[in-house]
Amino acid sequence: MCGRYVSTRRPQDLVQLFHVTDWRADEMLEPNWNVAPTNDVWAVFERTSRDSDDAGEVGRELRPLRWGLVPSWAKDLKIGARMINARVETVHEKPAFRSAFLKRRCLLPADGFYEWQQAKDPATGKTRKQPYFIHPEDDQVMALAGLYEYWRNREVKQDDDPTAWLMTCTIITTEATDAAGRVHPRMPLALSPDHYDAWLDPGHQGPDDLRTMLDQPAGGHLDARPVATAVNNVRNNGPQLLEEVAP
């Protein structure tokens, strides 16, 4: 699974990297070295413009979304805390994800992610969970395959009220490979740049094409290094969380 990750790139850099055509400068997120479920995270997605002048034109957006997908039929948003990941093997058939899989796909930029491995403390002999930071060896941005969804807050009566709608997202996971596989059996699925356009296209991909695409995750080598257990506490943040420690 993926329960924590790192996202520190400037939105201006993400706009260029992902060829975004619509980003609002007033929507800002601080660099986050300990992204946790229900946090707002950067997401890249495409949708059709609703403006009368260019109705039907597809634009690529960079927006902050809440991590933890809340299906449109959910009665409250608490369910999102349990929907932070979607397994690639079943994402196309699970009721919570299958509609978004066909129509609302996104990319979630990340510097890397954390996973925990059971380890024995040599000083005490007790078993504890050792966190690892897993990231591309070349430190390039990881484009994690994700889904997004709209949720209508039924307690807000007016549709045009900014608080009436919430956009949420989830990360698709796959079997871990490379260094990640030595730490944990699952990992977030990252896509390569040649798949960005097809993955984000909201209307021209069938389920079989999409599943084939997810069978070919981004290449490249991952590095895993042990980091301090300070990352276990979601209140802790900062670049010091990435410093290597003795395992």
**pLDDT value of residue 55:** 58
In a domain, 59, yes or no: yes
In a domain, 247, yes or no: no
In a domain, 179, yes or no: yes
Q: Which residues pair with 107 in a beta bridge?
A: 44, 145
3-state secondary structure 156-185: CCCCCCCCCEEEEEEEEEEECCHHHHCCCC
Residue type, 120: K
Whether the full predicted model's pTM is greater than 0.75, yes or no, is yes
In a domain, 180, yes or no: yes
Instruction: Please pick, among 2, 46, 106, 149, the residue that the annotation labels catalytic.
Output: 2
Instruction: Please pick, among 46, 61, 106, 115, the residue that the annotation labels catalytic.
Output: 115
190-194's contacts with Cβ under 8 Å and 24+ in sequence apart are 190/142, 190/143, 190/144, 190/145, 190/217, 190/218, 191/107, 191/143, 191/144, 191/145, 191/217, 191/218, 192/143, 192/216, 192/217, 192/218, 192/219, 193/143
**Rounded mean pLDDT for each run of 10 residues along the chain, 247 residues in total:** 94 98 95 98 89 69 98 93 96 95 96 92 84 95 97 86 91 88 92 94 81 82 95 98 94
**pLDDT value of residue 24:** 94
Contact assessment for residue 85 and residue 173, using Cβ atoms and an 8 Å cutoff: yes
Catalytic annotation present for 2:
yes
Q: Count how many domains the chain has.
A: 1
In a domain, 186, yes or no: yes
Residue type, 143: A
Range of the domain at 190: 5-242
CATH code (residue 38): 3.90.1680.10
Catalytic annotation present for 169:
no
**pLDDT value of residue 52:** 44
Please state whether 19 falls in left (phi above 0), alpha (psi between -120 and 50) or beta: left
